Amino acid sequence: MPNPDSQIPYWNAAATTKTFTHPLHLPWLNGLDRRAAILDYGCGYGRVMSDLARHGFDNLTGVDTSPEMISRARREHPTLCFTTPADLPSSPGSFDVALLFAVLTCVPADEAQHHLITDLHRLLRPGGTLYISDLLLQSDDRNRRRYDRDADVHGTYGVFRTNDGATCRHHSRERLSALLADFEITESRTLTVPTMNGHAVTGIQILAHKPAN
């Protein structure tokens, strides 16, 4: 199964062609200080960062592994801060909030997902917030055919290759809960979102907190 870095050429190419759609559910952030340190991990071209800035949040850091995504983000949102994972603060507790929007679907391997969540847990302060938006396993014939077709290739049901060359993953609720075992899940909601290739699918948003002690 490919690691996330092996898909960087795909995301570099997608930087000029794809539109991302997972919405920011602002009621979950209403009680948050506008000066809170927010990390948007997998920020893409800065769409969610821009939404946050429009709503008064002013301590924002966007990070992405794709240099072309970061370049587009900097062009379109020159007043915001975008960087690479290598340049993130290394100190534990550097952020109050971490956003992970449509990122786990792009990190198909169990180990890589676990590493990412563990690193975000370290970067969040005690009591900090992790806000995930991602995709559930779908029940339609099209997706089930893809899951069945690629399950043996990738070793995980729900991992599949798209027609344009990305390797993606859809998740069971149980998988997401297990991945967040070191967090306290406080809210979740399901929603319909368009994929980057224009198909309506069922998504899930999860609000979780790092224990305060």
- Could you report the per-residue pLDDT of 102-149, keeping only the tens digit for each? 999 999 999 999 999 999 999 999 999 999 999 999 999 999 999 999
Give the mean pLDDT of 55-68: 96
- To the nearest 10°, the Cα dihedral for 168, 73, 54, 212? 60
**pLDDT value of residue 213:** 78
Residue 186: what are its φ and ψ, rounded to 5°? -110, -25
**Confidence class for position 1, pLDDT limits 50, 70, 90:** very low
pTM: 0.95
Query: Rg of the Cα trace of the chain?
Result: 16
pLDDT at 3 > cutoff 60: no
Domain at 4-136+166-209, CATH class: alpha beta
Residue 165 backbone phi and psi in degrees, to 5: 105, 5
What pLDDT shows up at residue 195? 87
Which pLDDT score is estimated for 10? 93
pLDDT digits over 156-176, tens only? 999 999 988 899 999 999 999
Provide the mean pLDDT of the chain: 94
